[in-house]
Amino acid sequence: MNDDLKTLTIERIHQGLLARRFSAVELTREALRAAEAENEKYGAFLHFCPERALAAAEQVDRRMAQGEPLGALAGAPVAVKDVIVTKGVKTTCASRLLEHYVPPYDATAVIRLEGAGGIILGKTNCDEFAMGSSTENSAFYPVRNPAAPDRVPGGSSGGSAAAVGAGLAVVALGSDTGGSIRQPASFCGVVGVLPTYGRVSRYGLVAFASSLDHIGPFGRTVKDAAVMLGVIAGRDPADSTSAEAPVPVYAAELDGKVAGFRVGVPREYFGPGLDGEVGSRIQRGLEVLRRLGCEIRKVSLPHTDYAIASYYIICTAEASSNLARYDGVRYTIRSEEAPTLIDMYRQTRGRGFGAEVKRRIILGTYVLSAGYYDAYYLKAQKVRALVARDFTDAFSAVDVIITPVSPFPPFKLGEKASDPLEMYLSDIYTITGSLAGICGVSVPCGQTAAGLPIGMQMLANHFEEGRLLRLAHAFEQAGGFQV
C-alpha cells in the first residue's frame, strides 16, 4: 500500500477503494498493524478488536464486489472511546471496576458507523468514566500527546484525540460532558465536534451526567468530522432525549459562503488566566475570519464566571446517581470477602473506583443530600438556566461565537494532577456551551513557539451544526489551522 495512513481522509479511502488501489481488508490489516505497533508510544488504545474490524472490512469489500454503492465511511479506520459499548468487545470505561466487562449490545452510534462501512479498530483510553481533563485518571495507563510525548493529550477523550492526531485512526468517537471532545482535540491538533444535546443518540454511552453527556466525532479535517457526524446523528427510539429534527447532509453544506457571518467574541473569555500565546493565536484566527468576510462583533456572556461551580455540582450529582449501578452484582468485579450484601457493595465500590470518581460521587451525594439540595443542586440548576440564557441572548445578535478552547496549551504529565479544583477550573471555556446544550467545534489554530497545538472553539445555537461546520471548513481552507 502506497497511501500514507497518517494523511488518509475518508474521501481518499473512498477513491482508493473505487480505483482498486487497495481493498478494505488490506487497508484494515495495515491500519491494525500500524496502530498496534505504535500504541506503546502513545497509549491511545486500551484494546483492539481485529476480528470485528476484519469482518466489517470483508463486508465492505463484498458489497463493492456486488456493485453496491459504498457507505459514507467505507473502509475508514475508526477508534471508539471505551465508554461507548460494543457488543462482544470489552468496554472498560478505563476503570478497574469494568476491566472485564463485555457488553451484550452495541451503542446506536456504533451500529450506525459500522452500517456506513466504518471499521472499528479498537477502543480508546480515557479518564475513568470520562471524569477528567487530561486522561491521567485512566486506571490503566496515561496517554501521551502525539505532538509532545511528555505532555497530556487532554481529556477525557484523550485516547481518541491522540489516535487521530497520531494517524492511528482516520476518525474517532469521543464523548463530551464538559469539554471532553473539544479540549483534547485542541491539545492534539485535530478537529472535535460537540453536537447539540439530542443530535446524537446517547444509547450505549455509559452514563456519567445524563443531562450533559454527548457522543461526537474527531477528524483531522472538518470534512471528515462532518461526514462522521452525519452518519451518527438523528432520532433514535432507544434514546428519548434524541431529537426529531431532520439531519442535514453536513458534508454538502461545507462549501457555502461565510461572508457576512456575524461572529461574536465574548469579552469574558479573554481576561486574566488566558495564556498569552493562546490569546494571540486566537486573535490571528479572528483575522482569518475577518478576511473571509465575517463581521466580528463584541458580545457578552455575563454568567461565564459562575459556570464551573454550576457544572461541577450538576455533573457530580448526576454521576452519583448514575454510578450507583456498579454494586458488584452485575458488572464482573466483586469484593469477595465481604460477609454481608451491604459490605459487598461498599468494598466493591471503594476498591473498584479510582480517586477522582470517588471524589465526584462523594461531592455529588453531598449536594443532593437532605439540607444541601436547595443550597447547592437547585441553585446550580438555576444558574445553569442563566448561563443558557446568556447564549440565547448572544445568538440573537451573532451567528457564531469564537473563544479559546483551553486557557493554556497542553501541560506536562503530572503537572496538574495534585489539585482537583485547579483541574476543574481549566474547563472554563468549554463548560458554558455544555450547560446550554448548544453545538460547538474545536479546530486547530496554530501552535505555540514550542510547537504545542492551540485550538479555537466555535459555538453555534441548537442544531446549527451545518453553519458551524461551514465556518470551520472555510477557516481550514483559508489556512486558519496554521496561523
Partner 1 sequence: MKITEKEVRYVADLANLALTEEEIQRYRSDLDEILAYAEKLNEVDTSRVEPMAQVLYEGDAAAVERVDQVAAGVSSDLALANAPQSGAGQFKVPKVFDR
- Going from the C-alpha of 225 to that of each of 82, 181, 209, 213, 330, the distances in angstroms are 19, 12, 24, 19, 36
Query: Beta partners for 321?
Result: none
Cβ of residue 223: shortest distance to partner 1, in angstroms? 27
Catalytic site residue from 81, 90, 123, 223: 81
CA dist., res. 445 & res. 35, Å (int): 27
Confirm whether 90 is a catalytic residue.
Answer: no
Count of beta carbons in the 10 Å neighbourhood of residue 14: 19
Confirm whether 180 is a catalytic residue.
Answer: yes
Cβ of residue 303: shortest distance to partner 1, in angstroms? 7
- CB closer to partner 1, 9 vs 381: 381
Catalytic site residue from 23, 138, 156, 406: 156
- CB closer to partner 1, 442 vs 461: 461
Eight-class DSSP state of 99: T
Cβ of residue 200: shortest distance to partner 1, in angstroms? 13
CA dist., res. 79 & res. 20, Å (int): 24
Q: What is the three-class DSSP state of 312? A: helix
Q: Are 467 and 458 in contact (CB under 8 A)?
A: no
- CB closer to partner 1, 314 vs 456: 314
- Going from the C-alpha of 162 to that of each of 149, 151, 172, 306, 450, the distances in angstroms are 10, 11, 10, 31, 19
Confirm whether 416 is a catalytic residue.
Answer: no
Q: Are 145 and 451 in contact (CB under 8 A)?
A: no
Q: What is the three-class DSSP state of 205? A: strand
Cβ of residue 387: shortest distance to partner 1, in angstroms? 9
Measured over the CA atoms of residue 218, residue 391, residue 475 and residue 281, the dihedral's sign is negative
DSSP string covering 64-82:
HHTTPPPPTTTT-EEEEET
Cβ of residue 427: shortest distance to partner 1, in angstroms? 13
Cβ of residue 327: shortest distance to partner 1, in angstroms? 7
Count of beta carbons in the 10 Å neighbourhood of residue 375: 11
Cell numbers found for residue 19: 480505483
End-to-end CA distance of the chain: 33
Cell numbers found for residue 376: 447547592
Cβ of residue 148: shortest distance to partner 1, in angstroms? 29
Count of beta carbons in the 10 Å neighbourhood of residue 127: 31
- CB closer to partner 1, 296 vs 388: 388
- CB closer to partner 1, 390 vs 476: 390
Catalytic site residue from 180, 201, 320, 426: 180
- CB closer to partner 1, 150 vs 422: 422
Cβ of residue 316: shortest distance to partner 1, in angstroms? 9
- CB closer to partner 1, 184 vs 433: 433
What does residue 69 show for φ and ψ, rounded to 5 degrees? -65, 150
- CB closer to partner 1, 236 vs 476: 236
Q: Are 318 and 211 in contact (CB under 8 A)?
A: yes
- Residue 40's Cβ-count burial label (10 Å; 0-12, 13-18, 19+) is exposed
Catalytic site positions: 81, 156, 180
